[in-house]
Structure formats: structure tokens, C-alpha cells
Structure 1
Amino acid sequence: MPHRMGRFITVSFLPVRRTYRPRVIKPTAPAYRVNRQITVPEVRLIDENDDNIGVIATAEAITKAEQAGLDLVEVSPLAKPPVAKIIDFSQFKYQRDKEVQKAKAKQKKQEIKGVRLSTRIGTHDRALRLLQAGKFLDEGHKLKVELQLKGREHQHKDLAAEVIEQFLVELRKRYKITVEQPLQKQGGRLSLVCYSGGKIEEPKAEEEV
């Protein structure tokens, strides 16, 4: 309310009260629907022995799971109809969580390791680079093969590319190599990135009769 004081008017304001609104937290959908969380009318049932029972009513599948003392878990919700399996859900979830953690650890551990070549690399140094590259691949890392062009080598980049390709040929004698990033030139450097799908088994020597 305004108050008149001589020639001056003072105005006082009442504090504005804000209405408290509690934050609404949306429940997250379960990763797997279990038992009566499965709301579709029918499912394709896989029993506890991994036998394909076929398409049956969801209520009947739940009853079968209860009779077996286990759970009915919807393992393929996008299938038509969804695929549900009779299993111990706690054990199933433990195994899946373990697999996810293992995959994350592997992804975190994997790095891109590099080896550098040159157009004038000698036989000894080349062998050392192959050993180094093999070590990286054995550890599960991706491999970046680089070659720095110098001086007149810029005019003969085909020769540099051939050095890298020949290096890959040697690696492919021991590893199942997949090229993730094809050979490319950036500035004065040629490079490619590859990884291994495992070692190539050496043929066993035939035993003498």
C-alpha cells in the first residue's frame, strides 16, 4: 500500500509466495517385462528346456512358469508375437548385466595404437614394426599404420601407399585383418586404421606314417 510522507510517496511490496510444485519423476520402463508385466494377449513360448512350445495365450504361459517355479520373461518384445521364455529371472538378469559390464570394459580398454613406417624402412626395422603391431592386435587394440612423407616423397605417394599395403599383407599372414579406415592422406601423412578378428591358425604338419 502507498504511504504519503510529505512530498514523497513510499510504496511497500508484499513478498510473493511461490507455489511449490513437486517434481514429477517418470517411472522408467523395465528392461524386460516379467510375468504379469507382459500385457500382450499371446506369446511364442520357449520353455525351461529351451523347447519351442509355439504360440500360446500369455496367461497360460505364466501359469506354466509358475508351475515350474520360474518366471516368464519377454526376451524378444519386437517379435510378432513377442517371444517369452521360462527362466529364473534373477539369474537371467545377473548374466545379462555381467555381459554388459564385460562389453563396456572391453570397449573402454580398446585404444588406437600406432606404428610408423617410412619409404626407406629396412628389413630389421620392418620386422620390429610387425612385432609391435602384432602385440597391439593381440591386446585387442585397433592399429593405425602411418607413413610420413618427406621432401620429394610427396611426388611418389604411390610408393608410400605400397609400403603400407605390403605391411598389411604381412599382418594378414597371421591375423584376420579388417580395414576400418581406408588409406587416406592428411597433410604430409598417409595412414589407415585396422583391427584383428583373431589369429589365423597355422596348418598342422602332417605326421609321418
Structure 2
Amino acid sequence: MALPNRTGGRFNPRFNRQPEPEHRINEKIRVPQVRLVGENVTVGIYPTQEALRIAQDQEMDLVEISPNADPPVCKVIDYKKFLYEKKRKEKEMKANAKQSEVKEIRFTPGTDDHDFDFKAKHAEKFLKDGNKVKAYVQFKGRAIMFQDRGQLLLLKFAERLADVGVLEGLPKMEGKRMLVMFAPKGSKKAATAK
């Protein structure tokens, strides 16, 4: 059996698409007039061609920074330098934003006091480190009949973590698990959960 000829098929734009630039620049700005801003520029409304000439005279780019304004706002800047600075700032912000994780603590309906204390200490440490904690009671086989024990255990756990964490809702069943979520106390997400 011969393979179909793939070169004679229809044009698929997904494979030949150039990435869209983030801003319209220079000749790509196709409006009759713009509000011009930037260094060494008299701020005001100019015909687009004149604004483009002003940018070229300064060996800079005309960049549309606010396309929805009336008329659109354009700035005379070095576009490559502008993109570099923007990427650098985004990278800095990403580095400064601590990624929080969701740590899981697992119980069974018959968890004894020693295990409970051990797991509570771990949960306290996770919350102090700024992570969320997902605590759940796993029911196996006939243990599903002891849902009330699971609920009491999770509420006792919530009481124990009250100093360092905020309960994000009452215990709820998901399949054969009863679970609750805790957010670290003092985080923005925890404040909105109250």
C-alpha cells in the first residue's frame, strides 16, 4: 500500500506561524494618529507618519504601549533594550516569589496519639515554611463505616494547627478519602479563606 503524498495537502497555519510580537512597532502601527510620549519628545498627538519620523531621527523605535487608548499611546524607545529590561524584571520577580507546595499528611481512622502528634509536628513545620497542607483520612474496606471518627480526627488536627494554619473548609469526602486543606497563617490566601 502506497503512503499518501503529504506535500500536496492543505496549508496548515499552525506549522508556519511566526510568533506574534508583543507590541506593534514602527510600520506595523496602522492608525491615523497617536499620542506620543518618551524621552526627548514633546508629548502630544501626532500623525503616525510624523511620530515614526521622530523615532527614526533619534534612531529609536516607535512602540505602541497602550493600543486601547484613544488615540493609541506610542513611545519612542529602543525596543530590544525595552524587551531585555522587561524580561530581566520578570525573571527577578519570579525568583523573589517563593513557590509554595501542597504537602500531604495521611491518617487512618485508627491513628493513635503518638502518630497524630508526629504528623502534627510535620504539618506545623510545613505551614511555617509557607506551604499548604492537605490532610486526609484514608478509609479502606469496612473502615468507611467510621467516617465520624475521620471527621473528629481532622477537626482535632485543625484545632492543633490553629496557631500556624488556617482551615480552608470543613472536612469533605472525595472517594474513599475525607480531606481538609490548611493555608499558612498570615498568607494572602489564608486571609481570604477566613
User: Structure 1 residue 56: deviation in Å?
Assistant: 3.0
**CA spacing shift, 1:159–1:44, aligned 2, 3 Å:** farther
Give the equivalent residue in structure 2 for 1:185. 173
Q: 2:72 aligns with which of 65, 82, 85?
A: 82
**CA spacing shift, 1:28–1:117, aligned 2, 3 Å:** closer
Structure number with higher strand proportion: 1
Pairwise mapping of residues 1-209 of structure 1 onto structure 2 (< 5 A)? 21=8, 25-48=16-39, 53-98=43-88, 110=99, 112-116=101-105, 121-122=116-117, 126-135=120-129, 137=130, 143-148=132-137, 154-155=147-148, 159-160=152-153, 162-163=155-156, 165-166=158-159, 169-171=162-164, 184-186=172-174, 187-192=176-181, 194=183, 196-197=187-188
Runs of at least 5 residues in structure 2 that lack an aligned partner in the other structure:
190-194
The two structures, once aligned, show a CA RMSD in angstroms of: 4.4
Please report the TM-score for the alignment, with normalisation by the length of structure 2: 0.59
Measured against aligned partners, the alpha-carbon deviations of 1:21-78 in whole angstroms (never above 9, x if no partner) come to 59684555432221222111122322137x9924432223223323333211112323
**Bigger radius of gyration among the two:** 1
CA distance in 1, matches of 2:91, 2:172: 35
Runs of at least 5 residues in structure 1 that lack an aligned partner in the other structure:
1-17, 199-209
**CA spacing shift, 1:63–1:144, aligned 2, 3 Å:** same
Size of the aligned set, in residue pairs, is: 168
Q: Give the SS at the match of 2:163.
A: helix
Q: Which moved further from structure 2: 161-170 or 31-40? A: 161-170
Relative CO higher for 1 or 2, CA cutoff 8 Å, sep ≥ 6?
Answer: 2
Identity %: 24
Structure number with higher helix proportion: 2
Please report the TM-score for the alignment, with normalisation by the length of structure 1: 0.55
